Amino acid sequence: MPHQIDAPERAEAEQKLEKPFVNRYGVMIGDSFYDSANSPLNNWSKDTDPAIMAGDEWVHPTNDIGWNTPANQELLEGGYIEEGYVPQSGRFMHPTKDVSYRKD
């Protein structure tokens, strides 16, 4: 299986590579090709709700293109693996805005 060149070494992280999976929209996640005929990105229209692309079903746990971003490279360089660093915020949280305010 292809793997992100900048991803952490799974042997060091004590995490096994997981196989790609198909989410409920029929999109293959984690295959490193990042293109699917069923993807909302390939079938976008004015009626497409961007919220359908939110959530864990769009993120592969061990083969995510996100490892190539500068922010995640900083995490790796800062000891994400060696020191067991765990980010304090949740996934996709804005650092200064509470987007869930008054949504309850």
The one-letter amino acid at 61: P
Q: Whose structure tokens read 């900083």? A: 74
Handedness of CA 96, 99, 103, 104 (dihedral sign): negative
pLDDT value of residue 14: 58
What's the pTM?
Answer: 0.55
**How far is 12 from 10, CA to CA, in rounded Å?**
5
**The pair of three-digit structure tokens given for residue 73, joined into one six-digit string:** 């490279």
| pLDDT value, residue 21 | 93
The tens-digit pLDDT sequence of the chain (104 residues) is: 445 555 555 555 556 778 899 999 999 998 877 788 889 989 999 999 988 888 888 888 777 777 777 877 777 676 665 555 555 555 566 667 776 777 65
Q: What is the pLDDT of residue 23?
A: 93
